[in-house]
């Protein structure tokens, strides 16, 4: 007869004899039972579990075989083997040929998590590889605080199926990390029961759309932590539920949601708390038709702090009978019902330092019209007189409704103060600046760090109006740590092919601005203490500007914009044919044909936009003319980037005018003759209002002095008589605009009658300013002579305009070559 004794059951000396000369034996029904007993005690030596049959055939480390022969006991000490491995492996890799009969090494892993869970011991870890595991895993082994049992997924392991998930029932000191569970229906994806010191970290538990169980359930759980877990889906009745038998549970940085913004079962809850000393910190919760956080009548000393609670049909935080609840430094917005509601037999509840915005039914499509309009903070029933409300900032941001509080009855802040004697320091602005340095750091549940883990800091630009030890703490879930704000203006100069960036309007953060960095998009970067920088580009093109402003504390902010530096082809004034006035742009007034001269506001660089298109660049404001995206093609001059809204097709009409067609609208730019209507690209065809004379700005309002006699060329008789170089001074009759007619040709427009100078009789008659349009007889080519004078060759006969008779006769296009009679000075 063999009796199997665990080594821990017999104390022996170095020779294997029992200390004290006595044998104390434990008789076991099975060697396997003894092995499991040994494996369950972390203080005993660890042994590999082998089958009962093989155990009978071999030595097993740490056991003594006692043979009973004729009533005598004979003891034999067996040699010890190596300790069991610290990590068991689960893999679904065909190359390893996994098997649940294997020892769970990396070379011979288990196929299922459950197989590893059946044999794992305290202080061992289970490493689960990626893949889908169709199982529900029950962990039956406990660890110790120093050596917990750990299950972790090394590469995206997912439990999948209608019963998928983990169960920990009656255990302690277990760590579960980085697992996903998808598709459970009637059972939770994570089910913790009657257990303590359980840590679940970085996990996702998403239920099936037909689920009737919460995603995570805690029943009788104490001293445990759920950190960085998430739930999701459409149909879960709840995200996390914590029953009345649970206590000292921490939910930190969890992300809970269901799509109840659109649909979900009635009464679904993000976190349901019925136990004691539960803390919900730094978490994000959205959706759910009942409440994001619901605190029941059995809950005691619940802390809800630093959470961001987003849109959903139900309440934000609903304390219904819980005592000693601290609702502190949360940001709650877009809930259809009350942002924070305290009712029932609630007592000792503190609602402080919260920021609440647009809670209550507005025009959100997901709000149920059957529900009454909610308020930002509401105290009802037995909670009246037993709830502290202070240092909150609540506002119906998009609706200035005064009914944002409730003291049994919805009311405004002033009435709430009068009725409750609470909220003396509440604000109703909804503005971030009013949350800064104004919270109560002595409020129950007050966090010394914000939800991002940032410490409280004092903004020296904002007065400290808070209370408690840190009078500079902020309201809401986030401590506002202001970085510099980058504000800048860009001035382009196409002629110089340069840009000037002025960041003087930038504002500092917590500390003064130390430096400005300008990156001009062509591998040129300048860092300096001055906020203004200029740069010249080697080539035309589009460039990305980056402006970075850095404070003395190292905090910085960067903004960028794209600019176009195009090649200008000339500076022109556009003289509208509709009223013979120049198009001008002034900020706030749009483009209008309103100027008698091409003054500063009426000068444009015509620029090559490529593909046969042009862009108009207003020199007055340093911006390109653009088709407004709002307003039926209205023209503005506010763009620094040339895109589809800033390009035009230039159409040269047969009468010497031009028209501008906007490809983005397929319409032509039109100029109302009144000059009072802003110009727009809104006409389908070209008429008089859609025609413009393109006047070269340096050659506008010029005089012509004949070199031969030093006299000015005059449109004699106010233009009724031929031109003659006879005037001793330049008055109105002696003024002309040089109009660009394209193809290197120009027209001379007499200012006195707004008529083109014509080589009358196909050049056989004297020149006269009587052409209503620039046809063949009115076209000339300017020849710029080396002595600074100019000559004009008539397009009709290729003869030069001559001050005939040494200026004593009218001008005529009959000079075969350029001599003194054919030279003029532009003045």
- pLDDT of 567 higher than 50: yes
Compute the 3-state secondary structure of the chain and give helix, strand, coil in percent, each to the nearest 5.
10, 45, 50
Q: Which residues contact 20 (CB under 8 A, 6 or more apart)?
A: 11
State mean pLDDT over 5-17: 35
User: Which of the pair, 255 or 55, is modelled with greater confidence?
Assistant: 255
Q: Cα torsion for 76, 79, 85, 91, to the nearest 10°?
A: -80
- pLDDT of 453 higher than 50: yes
- pLDDT of 360 higher than 90: no
- pLDDT of 21 higher than 70: no
State mean pLDDT over 116-132: 94
Q: How high is the pLDDT of residue 361?
A: 67
State mean pLDDT over 350-357: 96
- pLDDT of 34 higher than 80: no
Any long-range contacts for 593-599 (C-beta under 8 Å, 24+ apart)?
593/671, 593/672, 593/673, 593/675, 593/679, 594/675, 597/700, 597/701, 598/572, 598/573, 598/695, 598/697, 598/700
∠665-669-671 over CA atoms, to 5°?
A: 145
pLDDT digits (tens, 9 = 90+) for 615-667: 999 999 999 999 986 656 889 899 999 999 999 999 999 888 999 999 888 89
d(CA 566, CA 550) in angstroms, rounded, equals 31
Whether 277 and 247 have beta carbons less than 8 Å apart is answered as: yes
Q: How high is the pLDDT of residue 42?
A: 33
How many residues does the structure list for the chain? Answer: 827
Q: How high is the pLDDT of residue 259?
A: 67
Q: How high is the pLDDT of residue 16?
A: 37
- pLDDT of 137 higher than 50: yes
- What does DSSP say about strands 377-379 and 276-281: parallel, antiparallel, or unpaired? unpaired
State mean pLDDT over 748-771: 93
Query: 3-class secondary structure for 272-309?
Result: EECCEEEEEECCEEECCCCEEEEECCCCECCEEECCEE
Both structure tokens of 760: 């009358």
Query: Which of 41-55, 264-278, 299-313, 315-329 is least confident?
Result: 41-55
- pLDDT of 78 higher than 60: no
Could you state, in order of their start, the residue ranges of all structural domains in the chain?
2-77, 489-561, 567-697, 701-826
Q: How high is the pLDDT of residue 149?
A: 97
Percent of the chain with pLDDT over 70: 86
User: Which of the pair, 169 or 580, is modelled with greater confidence?
Assistant: 169
Whether 307 and 278 have beta carbons less than 8 Å apart is answered as: no
Whether 120 and 126 have beta carbons less than 8 Å apart is answered as: yes
Equal fold, 489-561 vs 567-697: no
- Gyration radius (Cα) of the chain, Å: 44
Residue 377: enclosing H or E segment and its boundaries? strand 377-379
Q: How far is CA 24 from the centre of its chain?
A: 73
Q: Count CB-CB contacts under 10 A for residue 717.
A: 13
Enter the pTM of the model. Answer: 0.63
Both structure tokens of 130: 């990626």
489-561 is a CATH 2.120.10.30 domain: no
Query: Which of 144-158, 254-268, 566-580, 691-705 is least confident?
Result: 254-268
- pLDDT of 711 higher than 70: yes
DSSP letter at 411 equals E
Q: Tell me what the pLDDT averaged over the chain comes to.
A: 86
Query: Which of 388-402, 676-690, 698-712 is least confident?
Result: 388-402
- pLDDT of 605 higher than 90: yes
Q: How high is the pLDDT of residue 821?
A: 96
The beta strands (E) that lie in 134-237 are given as: 136-139, 149-153, 157-160, 165-169, 172-177, 180-184, 190-193, 196-207, 216-219, 222-232
pLDDT digits (tens, 9 = 90+) for 228-241: 999 976 655 789 99
d(CA 442, CA 353) in angstroms, rounded, equals 10
Q: Cα torsion for 127, 129, 130, 132, to the nearest 10°?
A: -90
CATH of domain 701-826: 2.80.10.50
Percent of the chain with pLDDT over 90: 71
Residue 419: enclosing H or E segment and its boundaries? helix 413-420
DSSP letter at 242 equals E
Q: Which residue has the tokens 């959205």?
A: 286
Phi, psi (5° rounding) for residue 277? Answer: 55, 50
Q: How high is the pLDDT of residue 261?
A: 46
- pLDDT of 436 higher than 80: yes
Q: Which residue has the tokens 């483009």?
A: 591
Q: What are the CA-CA distances from residue 809 to residues 431, 759, 823 (Å)?
A: 80, 15, 15
Whether 513 and 484 have beta carbons less than 8 Å apart is answered as: yes
- pLDDT of 75 higher than 60: no
The closest alpha carbon to 560, from 571, 572, 548, 551, belongs to: 548
The topology under which CATH files domain 567-697 is Trefoil (Acidic Fibroblast Growth Factor, subunit A) (2.80.10)
DSSP letter at 321 equals S
Whether 481 and 457 have beta carbons less than 8 Å apart is answered as: yes
- pLDDT of 77 higher than 90: no
């Amino acid at each position: 007869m063999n009796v199997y004794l665990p080594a821990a059951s017999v104390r022996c000396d170095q020779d294997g004899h029992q200390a004290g000369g006595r044998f104390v034996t434990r008789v076991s029904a099975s060697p396997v039972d003894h092995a499991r007993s040994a494996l369950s005690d972390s203080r005993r030596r660890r042994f590999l579990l082998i089958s009962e049959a093989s155990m009978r055939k071999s030595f097993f480390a740490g056991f003594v075989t006692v043979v009973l022969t004729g009533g005598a006991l004979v003891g034999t000490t067996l040699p010890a083997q190596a300790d069991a491995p610290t990590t068991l492996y689960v893999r679904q890799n065909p190359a390893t040929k996994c098997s649940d009969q294997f020892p769970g090494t990396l070379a011979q892993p288990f196929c299922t998590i459950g197989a590893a869970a059946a044999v794992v011991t305290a202080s061992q870890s289970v490493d689960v590889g990626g893949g889908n595991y169709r199982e529900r895993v029950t962990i039956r082994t406990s660890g110790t605080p120093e050596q917990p049992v750990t299950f972790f997924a090394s590469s995206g392991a997912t439990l999948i199926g209608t019963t998928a998930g983990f169960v920990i029932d009656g255990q302690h000191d277990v760590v579960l990390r980085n697992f996903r569970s998808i598709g459970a229906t009637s059972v939770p994806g994570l089910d913790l029961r009657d257990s303590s010191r359980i840590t679940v970290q970085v996990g996702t538990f998403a239920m099936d759309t037909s689920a009737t169980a919460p995603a995570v359930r805690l029943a009788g759980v104490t001293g445990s932590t759920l950190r960085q877990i998430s739930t999701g889906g459409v149909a879960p009745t709840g995200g996390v539920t914590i029953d009345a038998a649970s206590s000292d549970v921490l939910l930190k940085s969890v992300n809970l949601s269901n799509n109840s913004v659109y649909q979900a079962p009635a009464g679904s809850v993000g976190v349901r708390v019925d136990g004691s000393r539960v803390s919900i910190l730094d978490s994000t919760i959205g959706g759910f038709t009942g409440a994001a956080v619901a605190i029941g009548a059995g809950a005691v000393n619940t802390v809800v702090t630093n959470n961001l609670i987003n849109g959903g049909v139900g309440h934000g935080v609903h304390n219904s009978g819980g005592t000693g609840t601290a609702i502190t430094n949360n940001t709650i917005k877009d809930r259809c019902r009350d942002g924070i509601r305290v009712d029932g037999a609630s007592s000792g509840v503190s609602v402080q330092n919260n920021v609440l915005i647009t809670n209550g039914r507005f025009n959100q499509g997901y709000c149920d019209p059957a529900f009454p309009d909610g308020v930002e903070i509401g105290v009802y029933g037995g909670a009246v007189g037993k709830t502290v409300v202070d240092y909150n900032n609540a506002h119906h941001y998009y609706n200035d409704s005064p009914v944002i509080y409730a003291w049994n009855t919805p009311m405004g802040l002033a009435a709430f103060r009068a009725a409750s004697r609470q909220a003396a320091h509440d604000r109703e602005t909804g503005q971030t600046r009013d949350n800064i340095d104004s919270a109560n750091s002595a409020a129950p549940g007050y966090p010394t760090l914000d939800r991002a883990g940032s410490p409280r800091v004092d903004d020296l630009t904002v007065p400290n109006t808070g209370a408690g030890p840190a009078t500079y703490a902020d309201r809401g879930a986030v401590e506002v740590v202001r970085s510099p704000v980058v504000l800048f203006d860009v001035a382009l100069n196409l002629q110089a092919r340069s840009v000037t960036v002025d960041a003087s309007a930038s504002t500092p953060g917590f500390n003064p601005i130390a430096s400005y960095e300008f990156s001009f998009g062509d591998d040129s970067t300048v860092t300096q203490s001055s906020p203004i920088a200029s740069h010249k580009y080697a080539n035309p093109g589009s460039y990305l500007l980056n402006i970075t402003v850095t404070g003395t504390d190292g905090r910085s902010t960067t903004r960028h914009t794209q600019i176009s530096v195009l090649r200008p082809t000339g500076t022109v004034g556009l003289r509208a044919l509709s009223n013979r006035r120049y198009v001008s742009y002034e900020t706030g007034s749009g483009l209008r044909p309103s100027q008698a001269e091409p003054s500063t506001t009426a000068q444009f660089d015509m620029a090559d936009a490529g593909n046969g298109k042009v862009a108009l660049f207003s020199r007055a404001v340093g911006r390109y003319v653009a088709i407004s995206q709002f307003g039926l093609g209205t023209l503005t001059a506010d763009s620094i980037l040339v895109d589809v809204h800033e390009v035009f097709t230039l159409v040269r009409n047969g009468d010497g005018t031009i028209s501008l067609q906007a490809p983005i609208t397929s319409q032509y730019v039109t100029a109302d003759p009144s000059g009072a209507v802003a110009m727009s690209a809104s006409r389908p065809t070209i008429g008089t209002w859609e025609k413009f004379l393109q006047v070269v700005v340096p050659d506008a309002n010029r005089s012509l002095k004949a070199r031969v006699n030093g006299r000015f060329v005059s449109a004699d008789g106010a233009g009724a008589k031929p031109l003659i170089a006879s005037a001793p001074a330049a008055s109105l009759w002696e003024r002309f605009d040089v109009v660009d007619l394209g193809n290197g040709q120009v027209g001379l427009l007499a200012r006195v009658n707004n008529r083109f100078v014509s080589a009358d009789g196909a050049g056989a008659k004297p020149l006269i300013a009587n052409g209503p349009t620039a046809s063949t007889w009115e076209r000339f080519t300017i020849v710029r002579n080396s002595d600074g004078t100019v000559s004009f060759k008539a397009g009709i006969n290729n003869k030069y305009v001559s001050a005939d008779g040494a200026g004593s006769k009218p001008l005529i296009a009959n000079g075969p070559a350029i001599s003194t009679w054919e030279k003029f000075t532009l003045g």
